[in-house]
Structure 1
Amino acid sequence: MATWAYPPLSAEKLKEEEENSLSRELEWLLASFQELLVSLREGLEECAELLAPKEPGSTLVLSSVRSESVKGFVTRVGARIVKGDIQLRLSSLPPPRGANATRLTFSSIPGAPELVLDQLADVRNLVNQSLDVVDVSTWTGNPLNSSFISGQLRLLHEHISEARSFLKGTPETLQWWESSADNDVFDPGLPPYLSFHLAIAEAALVLHLRTLEPAAPAQTPTAFASDISLTGFSLRDRIFGPKHPTHDESGEIFRWRGEEVKVKEKIRVESQDPSLIAVMAKLSALEHEVMKCINSLKIVMNEDDAESDA
């Protein structure tokens, strides 16, 4: 079926009508965004409420599932860990004399340093910045200026995506040798050569415990060494077979507190945090909604990806 315009329009007039139609569609789209901004603000405010430091906080169990290696809990208030008590039974960490486990207790001494989860602090800051972007888009500037709204939406999407990435966890957040908990966080302090690293991954609280040892320089074998080998295989390996690594960092050397160390034993414990899971879900939905707006505006403004990224 063909559609005819009568009387026939010239090419110039037809182009003018097309531009007028796109202009009206763009105006309608920009006006509809004002209602959407209200919904975005509500979602961001819910995230801010879930991340706020409210007493009594969230008490989370940190215990190994199929062993007695780690048993305990921590209490999170906002981005701070304010309380915790953990019992350790590690083969490479002998307990104190007269005890059957090593106990780690968060210090309650006034003025003692607190364990702060920088990831959560960054997420909360980004959520607050996103709220500022929504307010600027609503009350400042021309809401019918397509370039202004397009820029604000892209900035909003960038903030939300970054906040979500912090909750998901990045390789930088897992660099334990740079961000292990300070000894003064605990009372009494940590045993020597024990790394306590707490981070967020996939909206869950993840604890990595590592017992360490100095990275001694390689020793030159002597004629009296029991494992000397001229063929590349030691006597021990030929009798018992090659020794398999006990964890994924076996043999690596790390710079920890000014000293080169190796990891003897590594334990990972995870605890699901309902509040953080809810924030992650809300941020994912908000990110998707903002991206839909950006794509819709790009189509109506007749922009390609190269123009929009410039």
Structure 2
Amino acid sequence: MATWAYPPLPAEQLQKEEETALSKELEWLLAALQESLVSLREGLQECAGLLAPREPGSTLVLSSVRSESVKGFVTRIGTRIVKGDIQLRLASLPPSRGANSTRLNVSGIPGAPELVLYQLAAVRNLINQGLDVIDVSTFTGDPLNASFISGQLRLLYEHISEAKSAIKGGADVSKWWELSAESSVFDPPTPSYLSFHLTIADAALVLHLRTLEPISPNQASSAFGSELSLTGFSLRDKIFGPRLPPHDELGEVFVWQGEEVRVKEKIRVESQDPSLIAVLAKLSALEHEVMKCRASLKIVMGDDDGDSDV
């Protein structure tokens, strides 16, 4: 705002007029932020609705694109997988006698363990916490207290950002060897040494299937030794070049169900979920809106050189 006036005013009076104008501007902004909070509440409620456990849910295809390795579907209602029928044809997982494939069928037996998508459960909880923050900012606290509203906006921003990160997922979101589905989730139970792990990445449902082999004391010192020649190079490597590893976890050791194992074969299949894509888009827009609100309030409060995250 301008720092001069005509006719010129004494310095003390000019400073007093500036403080009065800033106070009125801050009061106006705080009132406008209450309207923004109403809009933010509606956006979060839309996200919560998209994650609500409503019938008939979302049926998603989980099939490999260029092979017959994985063919099937799952049905998601809210944060749970309630139905699923997947046929597997993996080189390292021979089917039972008389069958052409290994079938994984999500159990519908009462009392069977639920197949929960923990990332979506975390997103839903964070959205609910964000709604609580807005309710406190609107109905409980002092809406004209700039410091109070600033703190509430910061808390709301953190909840929305964490929810967005959870639904984007990524390689470091979960540990498959700890969060693989229980064998009893399926009817009949999954074969031994088969890991079934569902996660969320970029608002898509991602299935990782891993066939595992236990490590014996002898394997620890001679694992994969049969694939190496005495000179370190095979004739095939000289002609065609070195072979690429079959997957990115080759040779790594994991503790799965209390036992050290290695991954023999790994398959990744994903399915885009329109509801989750909508949630991610809404959370990104809400995050940006809260960021603008925080930046405006900091400037009027004279704290525009504060935190660098807005």
TM-score (norm 2): 0.91
When structure 1 is superposed on structure 2, of 288-297 and 32-41 the one drifting more is: 32-41
* Matched ranges for 1:1-310 at <5 A: 5-215=5-215, 216-219=219-222, 229=230, 231-233=231-233, 242-306=242-306
Query: What runs of 5+ residues in structure 1 fail to find an aligned partner?
Result: none
Q: What secondary structure is seen at the aligned counterpart in 2 of 1:173?
A: coil
Paired positions, count: 305
Structure 1 residue 193: Cα displacement = 1.1
CA distance in 1 between partners of 2:117 and 2:292 (Å): 32
For residues 122-156 of structure 1, give each alpha carbon's deviation from its aligned partner in whole angstroms, at most 9, with x where no partner exists.
11111111111111111112111100100111111
Give percent identity, aligned residues only: 75
Over the aligned positions, Cα root-mean-square deviation in angstroms equals 2.4
Query: What TM-score does the superposition give when structure 1 sets the normalisation length?
Result: 0.91
Which 4+ runs in 1 deviate beyond 6 A? none
Letter in 1 for 2:221: A
C-alpha displacement of 1:14 = 2.1
The letter for the 1-side match of 2:92 is S
Structure 2 unaligned blocks of 5 or more: none
Assess, with a 3 A threshold, how the Cα gap between structure 1 residues 3 and 208 changes in structure 2: closer, same or farther: closer
Letter in 2 for 1:41: R
Report deviation, 1:249.
1.2
Q: Is the 8 A contact 1:227 1:236 kept in 2?
A: no
Q: CA deviation at 1:174?
A: 3.6
Check conservation: 2:58, 2:75, Cα contact below 8 A.
yes
Q: Would the alpha carbon gap of residues 197 and 220 (structure 1) be closer, same or farther in structure 2, given more than 3 Å must change?
A: closer
Tell me, yes or no, if the aligned pair for 2:295 and 2:304 is still in contact at 8 Å. no
Distance 1:245 1:135, change over 3 A: same
